[in-house]
Structure 1
Amino acid sequence: MSAPTVNLNKPKTSKNRRSKKADGGPVWDWAAGHGPVTGALSATTGAFAVATTGAAVGMPPTWALAVGAAGAIGHTITSLRDKLAARTVSMRAASWLLGAGWTTWAMTTGPLSWTALGSLATLGVGIGASARATLLHEEARELEALAAAERQVARELSAERRQIAAEWVDRIQRVCGVTVRVVAVEMWPTATGFTIDAELPTGGVTYDKIARESARLSGDAKLPHGCTATASPGIHQGRVLIDVTTVNVLVEERTYPTDYSPLSVLSGLPWGLRTNGEEVRVYLREQCALVVGPTGSGKTNMVHTILAGFARATDVLTWVIDLNAGSAGLPWVGPALAGDGSFVDGMRPGVDWLASTHDEAVRMLDTAIAVMKERKRAYQDLLAKHNTDLLPVNSKIPQIELVVDEGAEILVSNDRATRKLAEKILEFIRIARAMGGRTVLTALGATGSVLGNLMIRREAKVRAALTGGETEGMDLSKMFPGTRGLRVDQAPYKGAGFMGTPESPAALFKAWRILPNQIRDITAATSDRHPTLDAKSARAAGETYARRWDPERTAWMRDSGFGPVPAGRDEQGSGGGLNLSALRGERPPTSGPDENARREWDELTAKFRAEIDAQFGTAPSPGDEPPAEGPPVSSGGLNLSANEDNPARDAALALLLAAGPDGTGASAIARGLAEEYGTTRQTVVGWLKSWTDDGTAVRVGTGTKARYVHHRHAPGSGGQG
């Protein structure tokens, strides 16, 4: 006798009951469970077969009853083990007993009578209906159990949220004097913090009353270092969002993701991570960008992150200007450039053009301006077709991103040639937005001189400040006007800082660490993805653009010195030493206010040079006679006489020497030179860095307490004041 069972643990599907052969014919799936209909049919046909066979062979009727009782007991045990409902247990036991009872009766009276067949059909219908009802009951019971578990989790989470809401309502009242009503508390998926959505009280209270107390709120909440409570506008002006970071994610180094999938300037480019673990995406179709960061803050690494995003984009051509020997773009060119000037296996560089000299930068800017003007003329029909005043940027008409390392310093330079370069950069910014041309400028600091240009403030709405704990030259109120509660000491780690975009207010972020091997990998992975300049733009760009990768123009990239040969350098070399006397001039300084000042300057310069010569034994200047006796003077000595043609630099070095063992800083030196020479702090920072590199000066201390000491007065030098 077949057992009248129904599979109540898994809903019946056609996939469970039947599979398809390769030729499309159906086959039975014998491993599938029974449903209400097939279960009832199996039970009735099994009972009929047993009764007919038993009656024919004279089988004792009590055997059928014993088998039915055993089946009822077995299914009762398994149902209780599966924790099924009592209704289901009773239905299964009753099905076995009724089937066994009918089989016993039919074996005694004969199973082939109309009475026996009718009663068996009635029994089958009853079993099927009962199975269907119990199946629905079990499904409803299971759903209710899941819902109850979810409600329990929600109650526990709600309790945690209510506790957080109560704590912060009290904290905001205590610290800010504002009584808010918390509408919602959203826990971040990264488990690094939460966001409070609160309603402000009536009476003209705005969100910035809470925003400017960010530091006090963070201290009152005893948040870990690097964690903040930052307020920003809510869904309307009567609401405020408070982002509370509870885990310091800024201290950790985050490697650039290994997903090098295609990107688009239209869908946003990732530049780093927020404290809640979300990517910061920037949209540069219409916006320029400004990235500032002092030495050691991770600015160069940030530039490589930006170039990585541009390399992955299918609608961007990247042109890079770096007057510091092209160091920002060289890692993106090297993997693709062979020693003879050809491309390795047809690979294209990660940047489309790299300029490291003033002349090449002028060529690039002139070409970029010509391309933008040509696009304005040549694409009028396309603009009319799309009914827009913004050129549709795509892989066939790519956007040109001009990345200028320390470009903000170029814009405020007083040098005549550099000012010409700055004028071209500003012209490109001014005319190129609609035609798909934007810039990314970097700077050493967020100062009034850098941000004083209206064009930068108006166009560079995407701004990033890598602080590295440096406070000098990092005026965040100028960098992010209108944003309160930002402090440099909130991001004292390399690669950490603040970023603001038109889509998201200024807040903490962490730049990815991109390694040299990743630059090589990205260059190789994206080589076939870079677009080419459209035909109309290429016509305007001309031979200057077409021959940008000619071997003679890329020779400096393949040179072991990693930089172009400076003008005036002896082709045969300099004898192996550092000789700066080539710039020595015979004229006296002319920048002094009067003759007395000039005489004082001459005396100070002579005294200083004598001290340097006595200390180093420097190389002779042109025209100096060698000593009559004794060994010849080595040509490998350090010759600092090149500074004669740069009186401001000489004066700065003199001030450093005069500072004695206490040392001095860039700001103090700049103040001392400002009235007579107009020297900026950024220029002095560059001199101090070069002096530190060549051993002339020693940096003592870190952060805001850092100072520079002349090597003669440095600890352990034994020098005299």
Structure 2
Amino acid sequence: MSKSQSLALDWGWTVTAPTAAAMAAGGAYGLASVGALTGMPPEYALLAAGTGALAQGGADFYQRRPLVHGIARCAAWLAAGGWCAQALAGQDALTWSAAGWWGAGTAGAMVLARGLVTAEKTAEGGRAARKLQKWANGKAGEWQRRLADLFRLEGHRVDGVRRWKSDVGYTVRVQMPDSTPDLPVDAPRKLAAALRLPRGGGVQITDGMAYGEIQINVTEKDVMVEELPLPDDTTITTINDPIPLGLYTNGEEAVMRLLDDCGLLVGQIGSGKSNQVNVANAGLLRTNDCVVWHIDTTGAGISMPWLRSWAIDGTSDVPLIDWVADTEEEAHIMLDVAREGISARKSGYQDLMASANDDKIPVSPQVPAILIVVDEIAELPMALMNKLDSVVNTGRAVRVRSLLCGLRATQDTITAAMKKQSRNRCGMRVSDPEELHHLFASGGTRLDPKAAPHRGSGFLSAPDENDVITDPAPFKGYRITPKRTDHLAPHFAGRRPTPDAVLLDTAPGRYYASRWARVLPRLYGDRQLAATTRPYTDTEVLRPPLDPVNGLPLTGADPVTSTPSPSPASTGTSPGPTPQPDAGARIGGAALAALLNSAPRSPRTATAGHEQGAETDRDGITADFGRVIEQTGGPADRPDPVPELLRTAHETVVAAGGRMHTADLAAKLGLDATALGTELGRLLRAAGVERPGKGTVRTGAANESKSGYLAETLAEAISHYRNTQ
């Protein structure tokens, strides 16, 4: 039996006011009965009653109770003492007459005690409400003046101020004037400075319940500095429930809802991202209707802590992580099983969906959801990214979802499909506000990284219980340690579901049974494994053959159709064998080259600068640019509609690491900085694209903030020109 379920004696006893009155009356009756037998003087009873009345009066005065209530309680003490003295003097405590008076007095004392307590609670609640209302009215007046002074507002109205239950801040509800429905982008920083808030506190501005209404959330204390241990709760949950990640500054739990929507979790090195992934793992493994698969080709770091109880200690009979892809080949097999399983579930569970009157599969331990957690996504080749895109785009109805984790959420690491389909977005501590602006499409420009300055803190935007995406808000993530993981693993092992037969009854599904026979030797080498692993490893090891051209596993799954393939016409060569893209590259090499070469080039790009001597540099730029081309769907059979300056600027910025100051970009292109900024600004405006923040970026050796461009901003404009051709 676990410690949380073991029986324990509870020596505590909550004494109510009526119970206390009955106990005092019982003591008086016992004193009178025993005293009569021993000849106790009646004066002792009066002395005890007087002492009790005096103590009661002092307590009532200290607690500031009403005077009438204090007099009533003291009178009750004196009445009990008088009855006791009378019984001692007449030695008749055990007579029916004395007992009757005692019973009547006891009943009256109990009723009086209950009435006094109820009246005092009501009065105390009224005093607290009046005090809170007085505080709220004062704050409302302060905010009315503060908003007018800082932002020169006229016609606004502060409708109310609500204190948080956690007592670390409050929310101000403001009705904005028609001419100014929102505050400036830098309003949170100005307000935080005006309030002199500490680091870790801050101001967050969100939309209200109606247009023209905003809510200003003020965190007055640094609640991010303290560590929050993962709560000790191992009760069974379901994937229908939200997955807890930590606490918001107002004390509410920060959660993701991963049944219908995918998730993004990003954070720079040292931000607490890995811990947050493990917290999400704990929430997923606590359910009994969600199968968890992992893809981590950098060493399976997110999986090893959860496999230890099964593979090494032998305290769990089943692996908590149902499948771990530690290599690109294993990841291809896993994603092929997922892709084919999605198609199989769509046709195989039509009756189940009809019986539930829903167009999505109802999850259960027999038909569980599949959640694929992917870490270090930037390390995956483009072929795997295409398969992940397919899962992200097609798996919602059949409950196959993903949680994608990485160091950044830029377009060179996260595809457009992944970002658009991930309504749960978590950004751990960052040093550059532009990272938050890019991750959070709504409300990101209002965020200040200094509101979450500590390790384990970040910002979260996710659907609420009404499926409405909330604005990103700062939160502090729970902390989970290796010892805590070892403690939780045996509790979670007994509830782990297995994939259903329909999902695995596909051509790639035959490689599922021998997954651990392939994976465990790579993870643990020659280390002695627990006996609990033998049912999973004592089996025939199946490995799919490899394509001799691109090296991809041939699992029998249909190929991904999103990867563009070159045509003879686009290459300008005679018809012949079509070159296959390299699976290990970040893009389809030959296909991309054909796609880029099909676009018309200006005389500048046809000069000797792009001949053999510069071909290596151009190939590097082409490779990085390939991801954008594949995402935006650039056609290979018609002229490229992207302006030459925009395309060249994007290639140069990508080659420089994804961000460049305008002056440096102009120097690279041999143009005047002012002229370049004017022309690029015109092209971006024509595409309806705005640069994040104030159009400044931090880069260079000094990490200075100057006017510049991000690769993803230019890529968004390229996408617009291609999509509107």
> What is the TM-score when the length of structure 1 is the normalising length?
0.62
- Residue 428 (str. 1) matches residue 404 (str. 2): no
Inter-partner Cα distance in structure 2 for 1:135 and 1:267: 46
CA distance in 1, matches of 2:104, 2:390: 83
Contact 1:265 1:316 in 2 (8 A): yes
1:183 has 2:165 as partner: no
Unaligned 5+ residue runs, structure 2? Answer: 1-14, 58-71, 465-469, 528-542, 549-584, 586-592, 598-604, 625-644, 659-696, 704-725
How many matched pairs?
Answer: 541
User: Which amino acid letter does the alignment assign opposite residue 352 of structure 2?
Assistant: L
- Cα distance between partner residues in 2 of 1:683 and 1:263: 47
- Does residue 466 of the first structure (1) align with residue 454 of the second (2)? no
Q: Shift of the alpha carbon at 1:69?
A: 6.8
Equivalent runs, 1:543-582 vs 2, <5 Å: 543-551=510-518, 553-559=519-525
Give the alignment's TM-score, normalised by structure 2: 0.62
Counterpart amino acid of 1:495? Answer: G
- State the match for 1:351 in structure 2: 321
Aligned to 2:352: 382
Which residue number in structure 1 is paired with residue 247 of structure 2? 273
Q: Is the 8 A contact 2:164 2:250 kept in 1?
A: no
Contact 2:237 2:286 in 1 (8 A): yes
- 2:170 equivalent among 194, 201, 204: 194
Question: Which runs of structure 2 are paired with 1:511-550 in the superposition (5 Å)?
Answer: 511-540=477-506, 542-550=509-517
Provide the C-alpha distance between the structure 2 equivalents of 1:307 and 1:10, rounded to a whole number of angstroms: 48
Residues 183 and 388 of structure 1: CA distance in aligned 2, closer, same or farther (over 3 Å): same
Conserved 8 A contact 1:480-1:506? no
- Cα pair 2:246 2:477 within 8 Å, conserved: yes
Q: CA deviation at 1:367?
A: 0.5
Bigger CA drift: 82-91 or 507-516? 82-91
By how many angstroms is 1:140 displaced?
3.0
Q: Structure 2: how far apart are the matches of 1:81 and 1:471?
A: 62
Match of 2:501, as an amino acid?
A
Distance 1:128 1:429, change over 3 A: closer
Quick one: distance in 1 between partners of 2:486 and 2:102? 71
Match of 2:216 in 1: 242
The match for 1:456 is 418
Name the structure 2 match of 1:497: 458
Q: In 2, Cα distance between the equivalents of 1:514 and 1:238?
A: 41
Quote the residue 1:232 is aligned against. 206
Of the structure 1 ranges 213-222 and 226-235, higher mean CA displacement relative to structure 2 is found in 226-235
Please state how far the C-alpha of 1:75 moved relative to its aligned partner. Answer: 3.8
In the aligned structure 2, how far is the partner of 1:283 from the partner of 1:511?
16
Structure 2 residue 143 is the aligned partner of structure 1 residue 168? yes
1:221 deviates by 0.7
Q: Displacement of 1:419 after TM fit?
A: 3.8
**Residue identity matched to 2:202:** T
Paired residues for 1:363-378 under 5 Å: 363-378=333-348
Which residues of structure 1 form unaligned runs of 5+? 1-7, 18-31, 51-63, 105-119, 411-417, 569-582, 584-588, 603-643, 653-671, 686-702, 710-721
Superposed displacement of residue 481, structure 1: 2.5
Q: Secondary structure at the match of 1:550?
A: helix
SS in 2 for 1:400: strand
Could you tell me how far 1:146 is from its partner in structure 2?
4.7
- Structure 1 CA distance, aligned partners of 2:337 and 2:179? 53
Following TM superposition, by how much is the alpha carbon of 1:86 offset from its aligned partner in structure 2, in angstroms?
5.9
d(CA) in 1 for partners of 2:43, 2:454: 77
Partner SS for 2:183? helix
Select between 364-373 and 157-166 the one with higher mean Cα deviation. Answer: 157-166
Equivalent residue number for residue 580 of structure 1:
none
- Superposed counterparts of 1:255-266, under 5 Å: 255-257=229-231, 259-266=233-240
Cα contact 1:217–1:229 (8 A) shared by 2: yes
After superposition, the Cα gap between the structure-2 partners of 1:67 and 1:522, relative to the gap in structure 1 and judged at 3 Å, is closer
In structure 1, C-alpha distance between the alignment counterparts of 2:450 and 2:178, rounded to whole Å: 34
**SS of the residue aligned with 2:516?**
coil
Q: Matched residue of 1:442: which SS?
A: strand
Q: Deviation per CA, 1:55-92, whole angstroms, max 9, x where unpaired?
A: xxxxxxxxx9x966775565455444444546436645
CA contact (8 A) 1:444 1:682 kept: no
Partner of 1:282: 256
SS in 1 for 2:398: coil
Cα distance in structure 2, aligned partners of 1:352 and 1:505: 34
> Alignment partner of 1:546: what SS?
coil
Q: Percent identity?
A: 24
Q: Structure 1, residues 625-682: CA drift from partner, whole Å, max 9, x if none?
A: xxxxxxxxxxxxxxxxxxx999749x99xxxxxxxxxxxxxxxxxxx9x959958859
Counterpart amino acid of residue 18 in structure 2: P
| Partners of 2:298 and 2:105 in 1: CA distance | 85
The offset of 1:144, in angstroms, is: 3.6
Distance in 2 of aligned mates of 1:100 and 1:601 = 115
Could you report, residue by residue, the CA deviation over 1:404-459 in whole angstroms, capped at 9, with x for unpaired residues? 2344775xxxxxxx443333222222221111100112343333556662x33442
Matched, 1:88 2:76: yes
State the secondary structure of the residue aligned to 2:246: strand
Structure 1 residue 129: Cα displacement: 5.1
- The superposition leaves residues 208-245 of structure 1 with CA deviations (integer Å, 9 ceiling, x where unpaired) of 43776212111111111232111223344465432211
1:216 maps to 2:190: yes
Q: Deviation string for 1:491-527 (max 9, x for gaps)?
A: 3444332210121321112334444444444444423
Aligned amino acid, residue 200 of structure 1 = Q
Partner secondary structure for residue 394 of structure 1: coil
| Conserved? CA contact 2:25–2:106, under 8 Å | no
Corresponding position of 1:322: 296
- How far has the Cα of 1:174 moved from its partner? 2.1
Q: Residue 648 of structure 1 contacts residue 677 of structure 1 at CA under 8 Å; is this kept in 2?
A: no
Question: What amino acid maps onto 1:195 in structure 2?
Answer: T
Of 388, 394, 397, the residue aligned with 2:367 is 397
Aligned to 1:307: 281
CA–CA distance in structure 2, aligned partners of residues 509 and 72 of structure 1? 61
Alignment-mate amino acid for residue 428 of structure 2:
L
- Which residue pairs with 1:508 in the alignment? 474
Cα 1:324/1:186, change in 2 over 3 Å: same
The one-letter code of the counterpart of 2:504 is A
| Contact 1:12 1:35 (C-alpha < 8 Å) held by counterparts | no
Cα pair 1:468 1:493 within 8 Å, conserved: no
DSSP 3-state at the match of 1:440: strand
Decide whether the 8 Å contact of 2:433 with 2:447 is kept in 1.
no
Provide the rounded CA distance (Å) in 1 between the counterparts of 2:208 and 2:340: 44
Question: Given the superposition, is the C-alpha separation of residues 121 and 285 from structure 1 closer, same or farther in structure 2, using an over 3 Å criterion?
Answer: closer
Note closer, same or farther for the CA distance 1:598–1:255 as it changes in structure 2 (3 Å cut): farther
Q: 1:80 to 1:175 in 2, by over 3 A?
A: same
Residue 355 of structure 1, CA deviation: 1.7
Cα distance in 2, alignment partners of residues 254 and 103 from structure 1: 64
Give, in angstroms, the shift of residue 370 of structure 1: 1.7
Q: Is the 8 A contact 1:233 1:239 kept in 2?
A: yes
8 Å contact 1:69–1:100 — kept in the other structure?
no
Contact in 2 for aligned 1:181/1:199 (Cα 8 Å) = yes
1-structure distance, mates of 2:164, 2:85: 56
Partner letter of residue 216 of structure 1? K
Task: Tell me if the contact between 1:480 and 1:500 (Cα under 8 Å) persists in the aligned partners.
Answer: no
Query: Is contact 1:349-1:523 (8 Å) kept?
Result: no
131-140 vs 393-402, which deviates more? 131-140
